[in-house]
Structure 1
Amino acid sequence: MNPIRKEDIQQEVFDLYDDYAHSRIDRRDFVQKLSAYAVGGLTVTSLMSFLMPDYKGAIQIKADDPRLRSEFINYPSPKGGGTIKALLSKPADSKGKLGGIVVVHENRGLNPHIEDVARRAALAGFVTLAPDALTPLGGYPGSDDKGRELQSKRSRDEMLEDFIAAAEYLKTNPNCNGKVGVVGFCFGGWISNMMAVRMPDLAAAVPFYGGQPAAEDVPKIKAPLLLHYGELDKGVNAGWPAYEAALKENKKEYTAYVYPNANHGFHNDTTPRYDKAAAELAWQRTIDFFKKKLA
């Protein structure tokens, strides 16, 4: 059988996967509804295999890359989960202090992809900290399905406290210059927006397809924002017009990009929702933004 190509898959299949990935439908419903698209030689099994993340094949920066110094540390989160495990990374040859970036995972814990993203950011010249909000429940369990199930058992407001604590911890790291930003994806995009609301000294926030804060919270934002959205991400995008109106009304510093024909999760190169051109452009814009704001 020829391999499945992204262009052969109907948009409704990606929308269905999005519902499943965000726990709006369970696995049984996902499989049942997916069967409607198992036509023309496609099977449900092959579609499932095509849609699921491939962590081993998509890692860009390996854990033992000699250009980096990476280690898992634990930091205190007294208002959140108590003690949180996180991946701390920096360039191996760095001299002097660097800007800091908190890297926030999606709704399934610190999986191999987000660890990889944190290493990419470190290699670009930053000290990065990627926490695992599942630490109080044993940490990322090795599969996204189980990770989503675990993360649903934690309060998102309590997890927000974990990432705020991460920023405070990183700010005092001896390799950090005291300026800290945040980048997050999906759930992490919402966290990034909310850290901007909660932290008046946050230096920069970059939400990728993240849920928006309430309009009444926007006046509290001090950090400059760089926001990335996929054109086909109807659920998240529905909240953008009101958010943008509030940002404008309150004269906040922000830049927003909507990437044509891109799905939710377009930056995640482990799934077929990945859009290479959009992801690379958004990432370059992100690094350039951090270089300017965290210097």
Structure 2
Amino acid sequence: MTSTTTLDHQRTDGRAVRLTFAEPEGARRGGLIVLHEGDGVTDGVLLLVKSLAGEGWLAVTPHLERDADLTQQDLLDATDRALEWLLDRGVEADLLGVVGFDLGGTAALLVASRRKLGAAVSVGGQAVAELPRLLEIAGQVTSPWLGMYGDAGDADGEATVEQLREAASTAKVATNVVHYPGANHRFDADPEAAQEAWQRTLDWFDAHLR
């Protein structure tokens, strides 16, 4: 499996942002931004970055401040910095996507509603006070968006996911919301659900980034 590299990317405004990325070994299909979980750039995040590179994508994760209270603007700024870096690396604008899980899943939905990208994927998600409620933004997505959610055995989980699906269906771009009964928000307790979610993620990018 390909390795990752971490660097401090100097922005045009003179500020630097820390990025970790992995390059595909063969032909490059496009660029994907990975929005990480609340615990930062963990081993799981690095594995996701490397796995996406193994599928042909230039994958990059911007390092978010773990000790700060993240705002919508913080997440959008981090995404914009990663987008700038991908464009500088020669990735075409219509071959750019974003994927996130856990807190990053919520962040990916926010990005999909505020930025026009080729595709976006949310795997699970936990809302935080600074972010808008999922139901309020699902119908506003401007990037084709796939959301996959477990319920960790919560009896109200299926109803909540159905509400999210209905909200997303009003968007003017392609959306799909998938419910995995019994899976937790990170899918790490259900290998079968995790494998299916991974394949759905790859298929979504295949369908929309071309």
Bin of the TM-score, shorter chain as denominator length: 0.7 to 0.9
* 2:147 counterpart of 1:227: yes
Give the aligned partner of residue 6 of structure 1: none
Kindly report which structure 2 residues correspond to 1:247-262, keeping only aligned pairs within 5 A, or say none.
247-262=168-183
Question: What amino acid does structure 2 have at the position aligned with 1:157?
Answer: Q
CA RMSD for the aligned pairs?
2.8
Contact kept in structure 2, 1:211 and 1:236, CA below 8 Å? no
Alignment of 1:117 with 2:48, yes or no, is: yes
Gaps of 5+ in 1: 1-64, 135-150
Change (3 A) 1:75 1:242: farther
Give 1:154 deviation, angstroms.
3.2
Amino acid of the structure 1 residue aligned with 2:17: I
* Cα distance in structure 2, aligned partners of 1:235 and 1:176: 43
Which of 175, 185, 206 in structure 1 is aligned with 2:121?
206
Query: 2:6, 2:18 within 8 Å by CA — same for their partners in 1?
Result: yes
Within the alignment, does 1:187 sit opposite 2:95 as a pair? no
Cα shift readout 1:51-94 (whole Å, capped 9, x = no counterpart): xxxxxxxxxxxxxx4xx363212235799xx5321112111233
Runs of 4+ deviating beyond 6 Å: none
Q: Which has the higher contact order (CA 8 A, sep 6+)?
A: 2
TM-score between the two structures when normalised by the length of structure 1: 0.60
1:50 equivalent in structure 2: none
1:251 deviation in Å? 4.6
User: Contact (CA 8 Å) 2:101, 2:125: kept in 1 or not?
Assistant: yes
Shift, 1:171, TM fit: 3.9
Structure 2: which 5+ runs fail to align?
none
Structure 1 position 235, deviation (Å): 10
Per the normalisation by structure 2, the TM-score is 0.82
Matches for 1:101-140 after TM superposition, within 5 Å: 101-134=32-65
Contact preservation (8 Å) 2:4, 2:46: no
What secondary structure, in the 3-state scheme, does the structure 2 residue paired with 1:172 have?
helix
What amino acid sits opposite 1:228 in the alignment?
Answer: M
Hey, what's the Cα distance between the residues in 1 that align with 2:12 and 2:112?
Answer: 20
Residues in 2 aligned to 1:194 and 1:250: alpha-carbon distance in whole angstroms = 14
Name the amino acid aligned to 1:240. Answer: V
Deviation at 1:196, TM superposition (A): 0.6
Query: CA 1:288–1:198 in 2, change beyond 3 Å: closer, same or farther?
Result: same
Identify if the C-alpha distance between structure 1 residues 218 and 279 changes in structure 2 by more than 3 Å, giving closer, same or farther. Answer: closer
What amino acid is aligned across from residue 103 of structure 1 in structure 2? Answer: V
Indicate which of 72, 91, 114 corresponds to 1:176: 91
Contact 2:104 2:125 in 1 (8 A): yes
Q: Structure 1 residues 107, 206: CA separation in 2 closer, same or farther (over 3 Å shift)?
A: same
Using the TM superposition, give the Cα deviation of residue 249 of structure 1 relative to its aligned residue in structure 2, in angstroms.
Answer: 3.1
Q: Would you say how many aligned residue pairs link Structure 1 and Structure 2?
A: 202
